[in-house]
Structure 1
Amino acid sequence: ATGAFYKAVPEDGDTILGHYLPPGTRVATGSIVYAMGRSKTFWGEDADVFRPDRWLEADEHKRLAMNMTVDLAFGHGQFGCLGKAIAYMELSKAVAEILRRYDLSIVNPTHPLKIFTAVAWVSHDLWVKVERRQLNRN
């Protein structure tokens, strides 16, 4: 199956990190993506902390590895998401417009959200105060 959350091992099988996977084995990607984003080996001891500064602090080699890791959410090669480029463009434009038009602040910074994974990553209780900015139309 090549759905959004499962990929199938090719006809010849595959070996990943020394473990042989027989042909047709279904691999759930949703939980793998979640686990990659929380890997203390890769992200450091604060892997569970939302800290965007880690991207600014990383050297070029580390930043490339970080980009390749988060890029796996879209798949790769023949199983890659066809809409990846469009998704990135839409996200960039949406985030830029939101930040341009609104001031955002987390209501409870000590407990900003709750997260769990069940096939897909789910978050809830993220309360954000949104205030419209006064834009100058000069």
Structure 2
Amino acid sequence: MTIIRKRGLWGMTVFLVFVNSFIFFAISGIHIYWALGGKWGSHSAIPANLKGKKLFFPGVFATIIVAIGLFLFALATLGNLGNFNEWIPRNYIHYADLGITTIFYLRAIGEFRYVGLFRKVKDTDFAKQDKKIFTPLCLFIGTVSLLIVLLNR
């Protein structure tokens, strides 16, 4: 019996794991959709400069790599339920969750110009979506991942 079950926090852990896993699977699916040529949401998914020029143009391969990464994040998160204990040592799942927490908090903070809480460019389509959706979602994912880590100590 794990410490979580002894503390009576297993239900909360399961809920948080499913929430983050669902988000990761959904975002992974959106990236697959884009890799297959879908356009919905793609106009504001890439940062742009003040003139509206996109800062980079990810290709199909890069988009699929991101989708696979998000899918693996979902699996790592699901690993907190003990699904992979026979194949993956529990401490690897713990370190993966710490990595996920760090990645999403760093993404939320941003690079101080185009992305994140402290972005300077605020009037592009991306910046508006970043303020309303992307950065809050990253803070949410990071916080839920941190809670999962703390509940699974």
Q: Same fold (TM over 0.5)?
A: no
Higher-RCO chain (CA-CA 8 Å, sequence separation at least 6):
2
Q: Return the TM-score normalized by structure 1.
A: 0.30
Greater fraction of residues in helix: 2
Greater fraction of residues in strand: 1
Q: Which has the larger radius of gyration?
A: 1
Q: Return the TM-score normalized by structure 2.
A: 0.28
